[in-house]
Each structure stands twice: as structure tokens, then as C-alpha cells.
Structure 1
Amino acid sequence: MDDADGGLRSLLRQFFALEGDVLVLSVAMFAFSLGFQMTSRYVPRYMSVLGAGAVAIGLFGTFGNLVSAVYPYPGGALSDRIGSRLALTLFGLASTAGFLVWLFAESFGTLTVPAVGTTVDLAGYRIVVGWLDPAVLPVGIFLGLVFAQAWKSLGLGATFAIVKQAVTPDQLATGFASTETFRRLAFLLGPLLAAGVLTVFAFETGFRVILAVAAAFGLAATLLQYVLYDASEDTLGKSFGGVSTVIEDLRSMPEELRPLLVGDTLVRFANGMVYVFFVIVVTEFLEVGATVPLVGHLSPDAYFGVLLAVEMAVALLVMVPVSRLSRRVGLKPVVALGFAVYAVFPVLLIYAPPNAAVLAALFAFSGLRFAGLPAHKALVVGPAEAGSGGRVTGTYYLLRNVVVVPSAAIGGAIYAFSPEAAFGTATAVGLVGLALFLAFGEEFEQAVA
């Protein structure tokens, strides 16, 4: 206990000794992450209330995957050209505007995507290819995402640049740790704040209150970083070297990474198929609420926020201990644990009994998937040659994220036919990815203590 207390005091001392720009960035990151975590996981439910079906929700998930995959590079290039302060100010205003567009989503009307689908018989099972009914897309939801994700994804490169230029090399890890700590803390508190609002208001009214609060957080954070961030150290970079640079990086990716990349991509694809439907399953399919002492009854919408907080609390508790364990048992078993949780969670959730305690246990179990994240990152950068870790990492995540883009649309098309089929298929795909990683993934000896 003394060691732990000493470590906490040491971390706090290091944190408050950091340069002011990193502190400003950390607070801004907390505010934007809080706003995004309060809202993004509930958007599929909001779409359902607005009349959208499973196909439309799946297409929204795929659009989100596309934005996440595409935004970081141009965002980083823009921040290099105009400076981090101006870039993050623009991205902050865009995110704030995105929350407001979501708030008034009904005013933007809808777009109808015609039916594109058929059914086929495969081994006695009726399989839907595409979708059989027109998909009604709330335009404001999709437009809002274009803006709301700006600070989170477009600003990724700028946030890295600020930390790098604001601290000395020996403090770099601490600088990144501080911003990540703030971000994860928002992951925990955001859903709880949303749950509190949804305890007072019905969902449609409550979620609009949440969106207004998120917009206020975004505007406050934008003003904070604009006023307090010192732009005198900003450096302007050069233009992009061309597509040939990306192709070269793809070709030079270490062979040892390929089994990890294939397994990881399948696991993430599986998760992407059903991720946007977690809130729908809890609030509409299972319709599980809970009674909490001193609080009273929580509606399914409010209880979903509590479940997300339980998931993140477990993640925060296990990440450091499991990272230390990986030094003894190796990186591969820890990464495999995370993959396994990703893979089996969908089928466990869809067939769970409508019981609050069971769902709390399931989401606590889901939090274990974060345990493998530090080991996973180490396994990605491990085989890279000196001086090429950034390029290897960027290439790896570019490939994975691009392949995962259509996953939610595919999951939505299957979900429209059968929720059980969608979640079962997701688990099957995830287990294939886990099996391939276990069979062919490589360990790196230097990672084992």
C-alpha cells in the first residue's frame, strides 16, 4: 500500500510539474472527451428514437469508422501547416458545432436509401444479403459526426505535437500519460453524467440536455486552449511527400507483424459489426433497468451509462497490473486475453438474461479487453527497426482501420434480419481472429522479464 501511495504522489508531483501547455491540453482533452463520451455511445439510441432502423444505425457506425480512419492524417498535416494552436481552435469549434447539429438533428430532415438486398438459402439457413427495406438516414446525425469528431480525430496529430514540443525528452512519457489519464477519466465520468441526466428526464429530452452540455464543454475548452496555450513554440512543417511514401511503408512492414495484424483486424471487424448496437440491445432488446440504493430506479437508458462506467472502471483498474504481468508471461498471452474478451462479449450480451446484475458483470468483463492494450502496442512496435517505430505503427493502424470501415454496415444489415445472427456472427469472426493470432502470432523475447 505504501508503494502504491508513493507512486501516486510521485505521479501527481510529475503531473503538476509539467509545462503549462500540456496542462492546458490535458484539461481541454478532458472536456472534449467528456462531451464525446456523454453523447457518442447514445447516438444509435437517438437515431432509433428519431425513426432510424438497424440498417441506418449500421451505416452510421461505418461512417464513423471511415471518419476515424481518414481524419488523423489530414488533421496532422493541417496542424503542421498552420500551427497547433490555430488548428486545435478550429477543430474545437467544429466539434462544438457537431454537438449542436446533433441537438437539432430533426431540422435537417432525412435521406432514404433504397432497398438493396435479397435472401439466399445456405445450408438450410435464410441469409439476407444487403437490406430488404429502405433505410431512413437522419441527415443531421451523419452531418453532426463530421464535425463532432473533429477535435478527437483531426486533432490527434496536433495533440502529439504539443506534448513533444512542450516537455523535455525525459518527460515525454509523463506528458503523454497525463493527457491519457485525463482522457480515460472522462471515459469513466461521461457516461455517469449522462446516466444522471437520464435519471431526471425521459430519453428524448434528456439526450438533448446532454448534447447542450457537451456543446458548452466544447466551447469552454476551445476558449481555454486558445487563451492559455502559448503558440510561440509552434513549428510549421513541410508538405506530404506523396502516396509513394505510404506504399513504401506498407511494403516495408515487418513480416512478424502480419499474423498480429490479421488477427487484430478480424477481432476489430467483429466488434465493429455490433458495437453501435450495444445501447440498442440494453435499452430496447433486453430493456434492462436497475434499482440503485439512494438513487432509486434507473431506466434502461440511464443504466446503460452506468454499465459503460463499470466497464471503464475495470479497465482503469487492470491496465497497469496486467501490463506488469506481461513482463513475466510475455506480451502474446495478454494480447490474446484482450482478443478473447472482444470475441466472446457479443454472444454473451445478446443471449444474456434481462437482469441488471448479469449485465453489470458482463460489462465488467468487457473492461478486461483494455487490459491488453499496452501489450498490444508494444507488440506492434516491437519488431520495428530503430527510428521507424512511428511509421510502422502508422502503417499498421492505417491498414487495420481501413479494413474495419464497412463492419458496422454489414452488422446492421444482419441485425435487421436477426439481432442474434448479427451478434453470433460477430463472435464467430472474432474467434477466427483469436485462433489465427494464437496459431501464428509471434512473441518477442526482449519483452519477457
Structure 2
Amino acid sequence: MSLEEEAPSRDDADPFDAFRQFFALERDVLVLSLAMFAFSLGFQMTSRYMAEYIYALGAGALVVGLFGSVGNVVSALYPYPGGAISDRIGSRYALTVFGLLSTIGFVVWLVAPWLGPLAIPAVFAGLFLSQAWKSFGLGASFAIVKQAVSPSRLAAGFASTETFRRTAFLVGPLIAAALFYPFGSSDADVVLAFQLILAVAVVFGVLGTVAQHVLYDSSGDSFGTEFAGVSQLVADLQNLPPELRPLLVGDTLVRFGNGMVYAFFVVVVTRFLEVGLSLSLPVVGTLSLSPQSYFGLLLGLEMLVALLTMIPVAKAAERVGLKPVVGLGFLVYAVFPVLLITAPPDAAVLAVLFAFSGLRFAGLPAHKALIVGPAEMGTGGRVTGAYYLVRNLLVIPSAVLGGLLYGGVSSPLTGEAVFAGSPVLAFAVASVVGLVGTGYFVVFGEEFEAYAR
């Protein structure tokens, strides 16, 4: 059974449908779900710790910012050609290639500390590979939901796919926290612990790649014509539905602000606030978690809140509309940086803040529905790819700017500070940019007609 054949029977989207299909062992859903879960685990275990890994390898804030901006380049440039490749060679071979590249990327990150002066360049090289499976398939996933769900139920449809993927995002940080637990907070310990985490990511990558290649039934794959080239891309950009323009402007500003400091969240917890966790348990005794290990628990808490609220918020969007839900998500994105950087070094306070941060994910299904909803049937993948291409291209410089504001700039000749940055400055500016984007969307954003009341 192909996804296309299954789609008409799922017009009334059930947010738990992804789990039911998985346990019912419907072949195509099982295979794709296994791959999604495996690679999502690998991404979440590794990506949120990359800044800490870079610091432990001897680099600083500017390199972390540059790494974030290169990641933005990958996110911007991969989705559109990824959809074209999948259409051309079929889902089975495309998913296999993308999975293999991602797994190789995890391996490159794992061996980076053994490469001496090439360690940091290897970290950047691994970035181009590790994001292949995640970024290349973005447009196709949007298009599938667009075809499978009625316009008035798009948010619930995206809640279904997001719930399954975000479950891996919950488990991944908990695994990372457990693997960090036996180690200390020194740079050498951080490197060793993270290499262990990367080894686990490699295992999941191999399992996901093999499973999707061996088990995936490609008989239902459809093959498109050759990619029309740059002219097709230009046409797609020009033909973006006008309703998307205010959303695109507000979204870009919000993501730019968040992108300035997103990579530094782990560094703020582990090196700026230096907050761990110590608990006295009846049977186990005193349990002491390093800041690195506690950060994994915070990410798990963040995702737990997201999972618990995503479906109710998607349902609420059917009553109040998509725009208020998206606006609330933007607001959480905007204010979290300044709340985090000004928080006291207290484990309980950080737990509350990361739980609050989980609410930004609750608005993602409505956000995705607002993007793909105005698209004509059959163009959802291209509209999504074009939208994300524009947004992610504009967001590319954000992390470098955040790195400059966070760590400052020194003269290469004298070593003296030319500009004395600070974490507080970087995070405050990030929140201001995000609030401007949120305000713009609230004033000028349009509601999707199917959700208008």
C-alpha cells in the first residue's frame, strides 16, 4: 500500500493515527516511521549539544555562530532539490542515499577529535552530511499531509506527524542525559561523552537506512519529469500565495532572532549559568547530574510539554483559527532568550523556563497548516520548499551575528577586544528582533479561509 493509496481514507485526521498505523504494521507507514524515529533520535541527541562540543574542542563563540549559520545554509538549500531528487529517482533510493549521507555525517563528527588541527573543519564537513535525511525530505512530507487531510483539518493532520517525530525528540535528549551522567564537566569528559552519543546516533542511522531500503515497498513510487531548473524555482517563488507574505515576514524575523542564540542555549546552561541537578532519592541516594546531563533532561521536559499540548492546541485552532495559535508560538520563541539569559542559576527555574519553551512547538502544526493551506492542490511541496528557501536564506547570517554579540570581536593583530560582546546583549537583541516579527504578524497576518470564523 502506498501513501497515496492510503490518503483518501484519512480525510478526518486522527492525531494518534501515526501510532495506530505503526502498531498495525502497515508496511509503508511502518518503514517510514522507523526511519523517522531513528534519524530524529540521532538529530536530537547530537544537534542540541554541538555548541558544547565545539567549545570542548577548543573553539569559541564566533565558531559556534559560524556553525549555526552554515547550518542555516544547509536548511535553506537542501529541501527544494531534495524534493526534485525524490521525484526523479523514487522515494526508496532517495531515502537510502539521504540516510547513508546522514549516518556518514555522524561518523565524521565522532572521529573529529582524533584529527588534531582538522577537528573543527571536520565538524563543519559533518554538518553538510548529517542534515541530508532531515532537510531533503521536507517538502515531500508537507505535500503528503496536504493530500491526505481536508483543508479544515490541516492542523490536526500535521499534529499527527509531528507527534510521532517529536516522540523521538523526547527520547533522544534523555538518552544523551544518561550517557553524559558518568562523566564530569571538563572539556575532555565532554568530548568523550559526546563521542559515545555520536556512536549511538551512528547505530540508529545504520538501522534506519537499512530498514527503509530493505523493507520499503517501492512499487507505488511515482516518478516525475526532469527538474525544470532555476526557471521553475523562480516561478515558484513568484507564485507564492499572497496570503503567505505577512506570515513569511513575521516568521523570518522571529526565526532570525531565535537563530542568533539557538546554538548557545546549551552553553548558557553548562558554561554561563553552570546549572546541574542534585536529588536525594530514597533507594538510590544522592543523584548528581552535571550541567551537560541536566540539559538533556531540560530538553526532554521541553518536548514533553510540546507533545502534551500539540494536539489540544491543534484542536483549539479549529475553533479560534490558525493565526492566534501561530502568534502565540511566535511570542514564546521571542521572549524565551531574554528569560533564559536573565534567569537565576537555579535548576527549578530552568525547568519552568524549558517547559514554557515547549509551548512554541505546540503551534507548529497550525504554522505548517498556514503555510501549505493556501497552496493549490498538487503544488504543496513546491510552495513549502519555496517558502522555506526564502525564510532560511534570509536567516543565514543570524547565528554569526549572535556569535559576534555573544563573544565580541578581537583584533587579529593585537588580540585586544574591538567589540566587547556579552551573552546578555546577544540574547536581549534576539528577543527584540523576535518581538518585532511577532508584532508584524499579529498586525498584518491573514487567517487561512478554511479556519476563518
Q: Aligning the two structures, in what range does the TM-score lie when normalised by the shorter sequence?
A: 0.7 to 0.9
The alpha-carbon distance between structure 1 residues 141 and 330, as it changes in their structure 2 partners (threshold 3 A), is same
Partner of residue 201, structure 1: 183
Quick one: which amino acid aligns to residue 317 of structure 1? L
Query: Counterpart of 1:184?
Result: 166
Distance across 2 between alignment mates of 1:444 and 1:178:
20
What is the match of residue 62 of structure 1? 69
Shift of 1:22: 1.7
Residues 28-47 of structure 1 correspond to what in structure 2 (within 5 A)?
28-47=35-54
Q: Where does residue 257 of structure 1 map in the other structure?
A: 244
Deviation (angstroms), 1:386: 5.0
Distance 1:218 1:401 in 2: 26
C-alpha deviation, 1:16, in angstroms: 3.6
Q: Which runs of 5+ in 2 are unaligned?
A: 1-13, 185-189, 408-420
**Structure 2 equivalent of residue 4 of structure 1:** none
Matched, 1:79 2:79: no
Pick the aligned partner of 1:363 from 351, 354, 357. 354
- Which has the larger displacement, 64-73 or 10-19? 10-19
Is 1:441–2:441 an aligned residue pair? no
Give yes or no for contact 1:92–1:151 (8 Å, CA) kept in 2: yes
The residue that corresponds to 1:48 in the other structure is: 55
Say if 1:76 and 1:110 are closer, same or farther in 2 by CA, change over 3 A: farther
CA contact (8 A) 2:80 2:386 kept: no
The answer on whether the counterparts of 1:271 and 1:342 sit within 8 Å (CA) in structure 2 is yes
> 2:309 is matched by which residue type in structure 1?
V
Q: CA deviation at 1:77?
A: 2.3
Q: How does 1:407-426 map to 2 (within 5 A)?
A: 407-416=398-407, 417-426=421-430
* SS at structure 1 position matched to 2:326: helix
CA deviation digits over 1:185-229, x for unaligned, max 9? 110000000000111123222111111111111112222222212
Distance in 2 of aligned mates of 1:57 and 1:267: 20
Are the equivalent residues in 1 in contact too, given 2:15–2:159 (CA < 8 A)? no
Post-superposition offset of 1:168: 8.4
- Give the corresponding residue for 1:372: 363
Shift of 1:182: 3.1
**Is 2:128 the partner of 1:146?**
yes
Tell which deviates more after alignment, 313-322 or 102-111. 102-111
Is 2:203 aligned against 1:216? yes
Q: How many Å separate the matches in 1 of 2:140 and 2:243?
A: 31
- Letter matched to residue 173 of structure 2: P
TM-score (norm 2): 0.84
TM-score normalised according to structure 1 size = 0.85
Aligned residue identity for 2:169: F
Q: How far apart are residue 239 of structure 1 and its match? A: 1.2
Amino acid at match of 1:358: V
CA distance in 2, matches of 1:45, 1:217: 22
Q: Which amino acid aligns with 2:102?
A: S
Residues of 2 paired with 1:269 and 1:59: CA distance?
A: 14
- Residues in 1 aligned to 2:81 and 2:449: alpha-carbon distance in whole angstroms: 37
Report percent identity of matched pairs: 64
Q: Which runs of 4+ in 1 moved over 6 A?
A: 7-11, 158-161, 167-170, 172-178
Q: Does 1:431 align with 2:431?
A: no
Aligned pairs (5 A) from 1:264-343: 264-294=251-281, 296-343=287-334
Q: CA deviation at 1:179?
A: 5.2
Q: CA deviation at 1:256?
A: 2.7
How far apart are the structure 1 equivalents of 2:378 and 2:202? 40
Tell me, yes or no, if the aligned pair for 2:15 and 2:311 is still in contact at 8 Å.
no
The 3 A distance-change label for structure 1 pair 43 and 168 is closer
Judge conservation of contact 1:79–1:157 (CA < 8 Å) in 2: no
**Structure 2 residue matching 1:200: 3-state secondary structure:** coil
Question: Distance between the aligned counterparts of 1:349 and 1:29, measured in 2?
Answer: 30
1:390-418 CA-to-partner distances (Å, cap 9, x unmatched) read 44333222211111111101111111121
2:248 counterpart of 1:227? no
Say which of 86, 103, 115 aligns to 1:96: 103
Partner of 1:131: none
Aligned amino acid, residue 180 of structure 2: L
Asked whether 1:247 is paired with 2:231, we answer no
Which whole-Å CA distance do the structure 1 matches of 2:240 and 2:357 have between them?
31
Q: Deviations over 1:290-320 (max 9, x none)?
A: 1235461110000000000111000111111
Question: Structure 1 residues 76 and 407, CA, compared in 2 at 3 Å: closer, same or farther?
Answer: same
Count of residues in Structure 1 that have an aligned counterpart in Structure 2: 414
* 2:275 match: secondary structure: coil
Q: Structure 2 vs 1, CA of residues 246 and 32 (structure 1 numbering), >3 Å: closer, same or farther? A: same
SS across alignment from 1:240:
coil
Match of 2:416 in 1: none
The amino acid across from 1:250 in the alignment is: L
Aligned twin of 1:119? none
How many Å separate the matches in 1 of 2:402 and 2:252?
Answer: 15
CA contact (8 A) 2:21 2:29 kept: no
